[in-house]
Chains A and B, each alone.
Chain A
Amino acid sequence: MTDETDLIVVGGGPAGVEAALAASERGLSVRLVDEAPQAGGQVYRAPPRAFGAKSQQKADRLGVALRDRLCASTVQTHFDHIVWSVSPGYRIDALGPNGAVSWRARAVIAATGAQERVVPFPGWTLPGVTGLAGATIMLKSQGMLPGGLTLVAGQGPLLLAVAMGILKAGGKLAAVVDLASQAEWLADWPAIASRPDLAWRGLSWQMALRRAGVPMLYRHAIREAEAKGDQLLVTLGPVDAGGAPIAGPEREFLVDAVTVGNGLTAATDITRLLRAGHRFEALRGGWVPERDEDFRTTLSGLYVAGDGAGIAGAAAAAIDGRLAALAVAHDLGRLSDETYQRLTMPLRRKARKAKRFGTAMAKLMALRPAQVAAIAAGTIVCRCEDVTRGEICAAVREGARGVNQVKAWTRCGMGPCQGRICGDIIGQLVTGTGNARVEAGYFTGRTPFRPLPLDELAPPIAYGDLQLPPPAPL
């Protein structure tokens, strides 16, 4: 089954859904594919249908509206489908409830969002320690709390969002530990205030947390976490503006769970696989696809939108998605230059405004190099393969210059997550010896984009039905 559409959008978050809708409004035939059971992405993640309950929260209402608009459109949706390969031309291969499928399309928009980054500390791989972003998924899709008494740590807007989510769901918070100072939040206030609704929400959350008596520690980070029976003993300490630990009083908390995160990185599996150009932008989540202002990548027919094009937040993602879709319609000859200009102008204005806010958030989420430099030699950096910082630096000392060579020599990034979690940290560690981050490069993109059950990818068939190429020479 390889019937061709004009466009396939990979990812059903705000960027992907708006892209699919905008393209279908221009008369393009569109498929939207997502591994989740429903549209919404991370920010508007839907609770399972069985939960049924109508929620009053704004994000939930927006999510419902998004899904309703998608239902009413001509977009063909394929949820519960993991896209595992994209080939030029374009062919999309996915694994769904009924096995392997593939579709063809003249253009592809990769709207695959972001993934979590955690700066490793001793104990970050213990059970009971989860990521901030992972915690938001659990809260939103399952209504599940990370644990009993929870310590929330890290940086960026997710910190407050998760803390608030836990409080609202009836959970208990031990402390909220922010790498940033209060002054840093205020420094970006003008940009943050460009979205009064969100700024107001952020402020009201901080006040709610204080009212609930939750200790808020700024310019602090976790030094280490240690298992104590079923609980975790967490040591916190002060850090400087660069994120490096500094002398000062340390504090200990005995908690049931820790959720910690240091911002997001762009999910660039598709553009890396197809060898599109990428550039390093620390403020947009590390390596991001090179693109023009209409979201064309360096490859014809391949577009990006949303956090996958560089971290900018949900509001910007929705506008980006529309802009990318219009670029597709234009490039496929379905939109005159004139109409294209007319339709994109107001969007560009909105995009600039959304970007201001997104950039302020991204700044708060950006990796702090001194924090990475301070990771102890014995700390595990690649959790899939248990590779420590010391092993990574030893490979660099022996002459490995790029992240891919370091990976070959140590196995870091070779496990099921394929460096999606640790890749940015490893790049920073390799750079720590003086090479520029750009020279260290990024992990080569390969299929599959997610670990694939072999049984579903290649169900058993009769041996005689196997199509074998000609034999190798004797």
Chain B
Amino acid sequence: MSADFDIAIIGAGAMGATTALHLARGGMRVALIDRGEICREASGVNAGTLTLHMTRAALIPYAMKGRELWLTAEQWLGRDVGARSAPGFSLAFTEAEEEMLVKRAAARSAMGAPIRLISPAEACAIDPGINPAIRAAAFCALDGHVTAYLTGRAYRQALTAAGVTMVEKIPVSAIEQQGSGYLIHGTCGTRLSAKRIVLAGGVWLESMLAMLGLRAAVKCLINQLVITERMRPVMRSVVGIANGLLSLKQFENGSVLIGGGWQGRGDPIRGGVEPIPDNLIGNIRLARHAIPALGETRVVRIWLGLESETADAMPMIGPLPGMEGAYVIGCVHSGYTSAPYMGQLLAELILGGEPEMPLFDPARLIENTASSVRTVA
């Protein structure tokens, strides 16, 4: 029996969508399946910071490639996603933070990030919005931001043009091995078959892997973000602090986005449900300390998104152990920045090429619990 598709990608976030796009352009018949609509989870609700100040040191080379791809999205994706280059800062307000800043800047520059320490006066000259009470600042010219909520629109258009079959609002409930391929079961009795599969389920990867009888722990972070109403220009850089607990930027429309990984409540089943009021107020206090003019504006919306992390906090990208033609991609720290590059790397591998940079072998994290494929209730 011939399969409906050469490959099915399950999960239409930036990871799955990029992989699908390159596979289709590489000549494969591709289906991209999502239980919701394209890029409505982490990839559509994230802060869109392209900063190297917050990227894990080991992932810096990947993030630099990803940043470049976002900034040139019009060329390869066909549409600008509001990506803008901007100077980036990491600030220190205390002696302890300064110590951390120096250490972290050194580790990241060692991995190729052009980060250098500058004086408070120099930092305030580049961005007069910054609180002059800082003790130290690290500067990186390669920074910027993307308007994440536009991601799905750009990808959907490109995917459709590349001939990818979009299957939205169909949750995959089981995956069955069938001959040398896979039979994918969705809700309401929908089924499709594919010779190969890519699992790109973000924070839901743990339950997706379980559908193949594979076990890997995927931790779920519940990141909070705060958006203000439009205000006069109060900052022109992307601002963070040494400990990584702040990410701050002002968009062209005047609204300011406050993030930094402060946690709210939620889980993979219910989604990001609600902020923890004390965390919310802490995050906002930190933001206005960094950019004092934020005291003038109003908060219009607070939301939460789910971010995935493996046991060793490093990505899971590559072939699944013991499964013919099955791959996984996800759990990348600062994963929005690098998604356009990570997806391209995995597609290169699947298309039979040699990826430009090394992937992240999932085998180190995965335990095979069954020889036959099982389904999850």
Contact surface of A with B, Cβ cutoff 8 Å: 85, 87-88, 91, 93, 100, 102, 273-275, 395, 398-402, 404-405, 408-409, 414-416, 418, 444, 446-448, 451-455, 457-458, 460-461, 463-464, 466-469, 471-474
- 13 other contacts beyond A448-B300, A473-B244, with CB at 8 A cut-off? A85-B274, A275-B270, A399-B38, A399-B168, A401-B169, A444-B303, A447-B274, A448-B302, A451-B300, A455-B295, A468-B245, A468-B286, A472-B54
Docked pose: A468 CA to B286 CA in angstroms: 9
Q: Which of B148-156, B190-198, B204-212 contacts the other chain?
A: B148-156
B74 within 8 A of A: no
Contact surface of B with A, Cβ cutoff 8 Å: 37-38, 40, 44, 54, 56-57, 93-94, 100, 104, 107, 133, 149-150, 152-153, 156-157, 160, 166, 168-169, 228-229, 242-245, 261-263, 265, 270, 273-279, 281-282, 284-286, 288-289, 292, 294-303, 313, 333
- Chain B at the A interface: SS class: mixed
How many cross-chain pairs have Cβ atoms below 8 Å apart between A and B?
A: 140
Nearest Cβ distance between residue A446 and chain B, in whole angstroms?
A: 5
Q: List chain B residues, Cβ under 8 A from A468.
A: 243, 245, 282, 286
Instruction: Write the chain B residue with the least CB distance to A405.
Output: B37
Q: List chain A residues, Cβ under 8 A from B289.
A: 460, 463, 466
Question: Does A457 contact B275, Cβ atoms closer than 8 Å?
Answer: no
Instruction: Write the chain A residue with the least CB distance to B273.
Output: A275
Instruction: Write the chain A residue with the least CB distance to B151.
Output: A408
Give the residue of B107, B228, B265 whose beta carbon is less than 8 angstroms from that of A454: B228
Q: List chain A residues, Cβ under 8 A from B303.
A: 444, 446
Instruction: Write the chain A residue with the least CB distance to B256.
Output: A454
Give the residue of B104, B166, B285, B302 whose beta carbon is less than 8 angstroms from that of A466: B285
Docked pose: A457 CA to B287 CA in angstroms: 13
- Chain A at the B interface: SS class: loop
Q: List chain A residues, Cβ under 8 A from B104.
A: 474
Give the residue of A395, A398, A405, A472 whose beta carbon is less than 8 angstroms from that of B261: A472
10 nearest A-B residue pairs (beta carbon)? A472-B244, A471-B243, A408-B149, A451-B298, A458-B284, A455-B295, A409-B153, A458-B285, A452-B299, A405-B37
Nearest Cβ distance between residue A406 and chain B, in whole angstroms?
A: 10
Q: List chain A residues, Cβ under 8 A from B279.
A: 469
Instruction: Write the chain A residue with the least CB distance to B166.
Output: A399
Jot down 25 A-B pairs with beta carbons below 8 A, ordered by A.
Answer: A85-B277, A273-B274, A275-B273, A399-B160, A400-B37, A405-B37, A408-B44, A409-B149, A418-B300, A418-B301, A447-B301, A448-B299, A451-B299, A451-B300, A454-B284, A455-B295, A455-B296, A461-B285, A463-B94, A463-B289, A466-B286, A468-B245, A469-B279, A472-B261, A474-B56
Give the residue of B37, B228, B288, B300 whose beta carbon is less than 8 angstroms from that of A460: B288
Q: List chain B residues, Cβ under 8 A from A444.
A: 303
Give the residue of B56, B263, B270, B286 whose beta carbon is less than 8 angstroms from that of A473: B56
Docked pose: A402 CA to B298 CA in angstroms: 28
- If A414-B301, A455-B296 touch, whether A91 touches B286 (CB-CB below 8 Å) is no
Q: List chain A residues, Cβ under 8 A from B40.
A: 404-405, 408
Instruction: Write the chain B residue with the least CB distance to A85.
Output: B277
Instruction: Write the chain A residue with the least CB distance to B133.
Output: A463
Question: Does A416 contact B277, Cβ atoms closer than 8 Å?
Answer: no
Q: List chain A residues, Cβ under 8 A from B284.
A: 454, 457-458
Question: Does B156 contact A399, Cβ atoms closer than 8 Å?
Answer: yes
